[in-house]
Structure 1
């Protein structure tokens, strides 16, 4: 069972997931975010996905903190594009002694999710905040603004926007816009909006365009992904 709540860290989400079927697989959809993960007493990092990540059904509960797009690289000290479509041990990014100390604190917490959240809050308190321009990039792309227009509005060149996006989000602004559009569409469809209307409101050319993009990013047709026909 998957459960999430808003974190005390601005924009972040704290979640837990306990698989109900042993050995079952799952599908994590692209969302522009990165996560700090706990599983079986270990700390890992989930990089930004460009396509659905298929989990292998590792037994036991998982916990995580999902960071607002663009905020994790500052906290982790690594550009997002280096972790694109990857799941890595935190020891691959930080000195082993520091990770052992942090892991011990998380494992000693009342529950792993709260331990991860405390670790993220502590790290954020000692780290420079992310560039505020990043939130403006996300907001503009999530509103459906063309990439060229976003660069002009923010006063940066297309090359600068692409470079900043790679470091902060893991991929260029066109891919980020595509991922954010997918999330808008899924939110509408899950709320009961018909797919044709969902396509128009989310910024697709038509329902066929929506179907192609959903399949390209998730590996499933919209109806299959949503568990319904039509």
Structure 2
């Protein structure tokens, strides 16, 4: 989790980079807050962004307060009942519970209290719903641990399924194929190396790409940007502040992180 506060009256326009998680943005602003645009779909308020939603931009012109929660897709499938590849209003998934959640979070007096309230809300929903098949969960986590550098056919053998069955179950439950999931995780690793200042050639080699051209094609496909532009993406810079190291929760207030 990360809490974001932007006091400037002109927040501007930020391109959001694809990430191997389902992201929940809970709007806590007094004004209109952020507007999210995905492939021509525009949403305001609290939204859920699924895996590979396409090119996402967030824009705002008022003081912004929002809570971002990244969920492993396996967990998100249970919490939301669906893993979507686009932007969906939280109200469409949770109904009136979405408004109740926002009210509780707005009433909290600190970010730590908001984190605790959010954990309680998500935990309650998770405890009453089933998640994905254990085999699908295993394949996702093995792929994640390898940063996308794993043979999908080998994973099918590990869980005792045929490649066709794995493809079908994985896609129906998580919204993408195992191969596409591996590409996303490899891209995510490469994007953060680029943001850390590493040269594209070195990033391609360390991330498992055939060559620099291969890296360029994947980055372009995921973001519509060049590797150079991705390296300068504000959202990746925020990542290292809001989620330092392997921390699962963080807080970003006025550009500064707090333990």
State the TM-score bracket (shorter-chain normalisation): 0.7 to 0.9
Counterpart mapping for 1:160-179 below 5 A: 160-179=165-184
Task: Give the whole-Å Cα distance in 1 for the aligned partners of 2:196 and 2:47.
Answer: 32
Residue 135 of structure 2 corresponds to which residue in structure 1?
133
2:161 pairs with 1:156: yes
Q: Deviations over 1:133-189 (max 9, x none)?
A: 344212433421122222122211222222232234321112111110101112333
Distance 1:71 1:164, change over 3 A: farther
Give 1:138-217 correspondences, 5 Å limit.
138-142=140-144, 143=146, 144-217=149-222
**Displacement of 1:76:** 1.3
Partner Cα separation in structure 1 for residue 108 and residue 132 of structure 2: 27
Q: Report what 2:242 is aligned to.
A: none
Contact 1:169–1:176 at 8 Å: present in 2 too? no
Shift of 1:129: 5.2
Say which of 56, 60, 63 aligns to 1:53. Answer: 56
- What stretches of structure 1 of length at least 5 have no aligned partner? 1-13
Change (3 A) 1:35 1:148: same
Deviates more, 1:206-215 or 1:111-120: 111-120
Is the Cα contact below 8 Å between 1:29 and 1:53 reproduced in 2?
A: yes
Q: C-alpha distance in 2, partners of 1:44/1:111? A: 22
Secondary structure of the equivalent of 1:149? helix
Contact 2:28–2:102 (CA<8 Å) still a contact in 1? no
Q: Aligned to 1:84, what secondary structure does the other structure show?
A: coil
Matching residue of 1:68: 72
Ranges in structure 2 where 5+ consecutive residues have no aligned partner: 30-44, 234-259
Q: Bigger CA drift: 206-215 or 64-73?
A: 64-73
RMSD: 2.5
Matched, 1:77 2:65: no
